[in-house]
Structure formats: C-alpha cells, structure tokens
Amino acid sequence: MRDKNYITIANMNEVLEKVKKDYDSVYVKDGYIIIKTVDEYDIPLKKCKTAEEILEWVHHLLGKKWASRGIIRRFIEIACSENNIDVNF
C-alpha cells in the first residue's frame, strides 16, 4: 500500500508544468506587469514602487479567482526586482 504522500514522476511533471505556466504568465511589458490568464491583467510598475504598494496589489490579487499562489509569488518577484526592493523568500 502506498503512502498518501507518495509522488510519482507523472505527478511531479504535472506540478512542474503548473509552476512553469504560472511563472510564464507574469511578465513585464511597456512599463506594466502583465498577468496573462484568460485575459490580460495589467498593473502599472509606477504603482509598485514600494513594498507597501506591492502589498496592496497582493491584497487586491488575492481577491481574484485566477490568482494562484504561483502567480502572486511571481508578481512579487517581478515587482520587487523591477523596483530594486530586496525581499528574501
């Protein structure tokens, strides 16, 4: 009998594909952080200049059904990187 936490290669590939999809769906274009899901969701980089502003956007994104943990994490990484905000994950 397998442990309920048993992970197969197929399961791991599914997880890795989801992580890659989330990672690739968030990117910077023309001064905006673009989140590409069913539609495009544009967040102006100029409104993400401080940790507080980024946190406000995270709070806002948490209300979106399509905003997975991976998408929000990638948004934080990009927003911090683009504005030279040091965050240790």
pTM score, whole prediction: 0.79
Q: Is position 1 within any domain?
A: no
Closest CA to 25 of 64, 51, 59: 64
Q: Is position 16 within any domain?
A: yes
Question: How would you list the strands of the sheet with 40-44, edge to edge?
Answer: 26-29, 32-36, 40-44
E strands in the chain: 26-29, 32-36, 40-44
With contact defined as beta carbons under 8 Å apart, do 85 and 79 qualify? Answer: yes
At 38, is the pLDDT very low, low, confident or very high (cuts 50, 70, 90)? confident
Q: Taking residues 1-14, what's their average pLDDT?
A: 71
Q: Is position 2 within any domain?
A: no
What tens digit of pLDDT does each residue of 18-31 get? 777 877 899 999 99
Domain span at residue 15?
A: 9-82
- Between residues 8 and 85, which one has the greater pLDDT? 85
Give Dmax over CA atoms of the chain in angstroms. Answer: 54
Q: Is position 4 within any domain?
A: no
2 pLDDT more than 70: no
